[in-house]
Chain A
Amino acid sequence: MRNMNKNWNIMTGNEAVALATKLAGVRFVSAYPITPQTAIVEKIAEMVANEKMDAKFIEVESEHSAMASVMGSELAGVRSFTASSSHGILYMHEMLNWVAGMRLPILMAVVNRSIGPPWNIWADHSDTMIQRDTGWMQLYGESNQEAMDTIILGYKLAEHKDILLPIMVMQDAFTLSHTSEPVEIRDEMVVREFLGDLNLPFKIDTNRPMGYGSLMPPDGPFMELKMDMKKSMYSAVDRFVEITKEFNDLFDANFPGPVEGFMMEDADYALITLGSISSTAKYVVRNLRNQGKKVGLLRILLYRPFPKDLVISYLRGLKGFGVVDRSSTYGPYGSLYMDVISSIYGKLEIPAANFVAGLGGRDVRVKDFEEMFTKIMEGEEGEIWINVGVK
């Protein structure tokens, strides 16, 4: 840890993200308004207009164009950023795949919001779960501090020369995006030193003219390129552990890394969660511990690549667990549940339930988590929807 002034402020998750892009030395931002993301780019526009941030900001006419324009700017070798939510993420789906395939380490902040119809602007993870197979890495944060730190860590990870893949960093609508919390503002000079300059080895250069994304026949290295993306992405788990350690040392921080185990050491039963509902879950875990129940919580921060070995190491020895999916997907079970189960297949045999909760911003309450723990301790399995049919 360096000598530096600790600088705290009260800010929303959206403000924390905007400030993080300035700290990270982002030089090009392009975005389209959508609730509840808009405050991020409003803040960036304001910082640029007041020369507090040295970047070019443009507001484009759609999310598809937002992603296409940051593809162009990143290819030109300039650290780029965009932010969106919900239907905006769906609208840029095509470009998400293109950006990942081009190996561009772009960052996008996502304020997780449900997908209509009916219109609903509140939190769930359906918008980004739908994008889990686009070649983007995904980080789900729990607090406004993490909203800031995942941007900084995200650029470090994405721009690593052996990874070069984009990252979306998530925070839950309103619970984080519009709620103020104390956030420690990371020192700008140290962040810049931590990240260094973007050095894209294949950036646009008229002295080295190339075709970017040309036609590839079946006997060209198409499969090899896709395999390399997967390999690079999965090398990011260990890399993220290293980067987290470096970050925590530099900033005297306690960022958890790819996953966070909470009271998991001697747990018999556990829940697995993503995002802001984890805070309520931790509260319940503490209460149950006080009642002598050996329960814990495993929070996944890095969802893509899925940190399967870490998950296995935490689940080993449990008598039962539950996975909370806060998204509507249409596989046999929820996405997170299926990822966990396929990761432990053949390695661990533990009864596991899949809870679907908190869609469209529905509150996931203390008693909901208590119900989930009760069910897993009773050995229930299968897909169970929580807090439904009571309205």
Chain B
Amino acid sequence: MPFSIPKEEYMMSGHTACAGCGATLAMRYVMKAMGEKTVVTVPASCWAVIPGNYPNTALKVPFIYTPFASTGATISGIREALNEEGKEDYNVVGFAGDGGTADIGLQALSAAMERGHNVFYIMYDNEAYMNTGIQRSSSTPYGAWTTTTPVGKDRVYKKENKKVVADMMMAQKVPYVATASIAFPEDLIKKIQNAKKVKGPKFIQILSPCPPGWYFNSENTVKIARLAVETRIFPLYEYIEGKFTLYKNPNPLPVEKYLEIQGRFGHLSTEEIQKIQENVNKRWEELLDREKGKVIT
């Protein structure tokens, strides 16, 4: 059987991610696509602890730890300095979680993309602050339990919709934007290969399920990531220099299939699930419109 993704590994074993970690799979695939001439920057996030304690490092490339808000800015400086050194062939990658991207790092991200540096910004989206113990981020979806949106007597689960950073990046006309999933590594790697052909900033948002944070058994990480796409909860798309392409699965599953195997949605009523389904349908129509070239408002 031929290997469907590159055999070479740039992420090493012995890292300290939780069993079944989606963010770790995201890094493994991203690095397979990037190759050895790569510099990775991570802010405060799960990936700031996954390599393990000093003196260990988990990637076979330089790996820069930077404070929470500064991924976009740090990769800007690395990129321009490497260019000054004649090292244009290096891939400069920011690899940040959803809190570090959608919340505290959004300003630095948006500015780095606007300035047009030739960098990759990978957002591994596990939909909450997982490293600090499951607090809501603006990328947490509607309906989810987190430790700061607890489901008590008042059922204060997250009542606000997910902020989709990839959509914001398209609104900003970033030259390359894509969403990807750890359940479809071939697609994820293909997207990075496509992104490499674009000179300028590249943004890819990867849904990375989190077993302890989403309350599911660790063997279901890939299954849940797949269901997110199959139920259209997390649509996969690619936007290259203004051209938008949506991956369309012909037989979508009901969102319930995705929600029911995650403890974080366990409290939702039939009506609430219906509301999520309606929102998913509405967003899907909007994405189809975008593909047809209609203006999204």
Contacts and interface: CB of A to CB of B under 8 A. Distances in A.
Given A98-B67, A214-B57, A76 B85 contact: yes
Contact of B39 (A74, A204, A221): A204
Contact count band on A: 35 or more
B69 interface: yes
B163 interface: no
Contacts of B72: 65
A210 B62 contact: yes
Contact of A76 (B66, B82, B107, B108): B82
Interface residues of B, number: 47
Given A58-B76, A72-B73, A72-B77, A216 B53 contact: yes
A289 interface: no
B168 interface: no
A71 B62 contact: no
Which of A55, A98, A211 is the most central at the interface, judged by chain B CB atoms within 10 Å of its CB? A211
Given A56-B80, A214-B51, A65 B111 contact: yes
Q: Chain B interface secondary structure, helix, strand, loop or mixed?
A: mixed
Interface string A198-228: 0000001110111111111100110000000
Nearest to A62: B107
B32 interface: no
B82 A211 contact: no
Nearest to B110: A61
B66 A68 contact: yes
B108 to A, nearest CB: 5
Contacts of A27: 81, 84
Contacts of A216: 53-54
Interface in A338-368: none
Which of A66, A206, A208 is the most central at the interface, judged by chain B CB atoms within 10 Å of its CB? A206
Interface in B27-61: 36-39, 41, 48-49, 51-61
Contact of A204 (B52, B53, B78, B115): B78
Contacts of A70: 77
Interface in B12-37: 36-37
Contact of A65 (B52, B58, B59, B108): B108
Interface string A172-187: 0000000000000000
7 contacts: A55-B84, A58-B76, A204-B64, A209-B59, A209-B60, A214-B52, A214-B65
A210 B63 CA distance: 6
Contacts of B65: 211-214
A379 interface: no
B77 A28 contact: yes
B74 interface: yes
A68 B70 contact: yes
B70 A209 contact: no
A76 B57 contact: no
A98 B66 CA distance: 8
Contact of A211 (B57, B70, B107, B115): B57
Contacts of A328: none
A10 interface: no
Given A70-B77, A206-B39, A213-B64, A28 B53 contact: no
B193 interface: no
Nearest to A213: B65
A56 B83 contact: yes
Nearest to B64: A212
A213 B254 CA distance: 45
Contact of A71 (B56, B69, B74): B74
A68 B44 CA distance: 14
A95 interface: yes
B75 interface: yes
B54 A69 contact: no
Contacts of A206: 36-39, 61-62, 90
Nearest to B78: A72
A58 B80 CA distance: 9
A214 B64 contact: no
Interface string A85-99: 000000000110010
Interface string A312-340: 00000000000000000000000000000
A220 B56 CA distance: 11
Given A75-B81, A76-B77, 12 more contacts: A60-B73, A61-B111, A65-B107, A68-B74, A71-B74, A72-B74, A75-B77, A77-B85, A211-B63, A214-B53, A215-B52, A216-B54
Contacts of B73: 60, 62, 64-66, 68-69, 72
Given A72-B73, A72-B74, A61 B85 contact: no
A68 B85 contact: no
Interface in A34-83: 55-56, 58, 60-62, 64-66, 68-78, 80
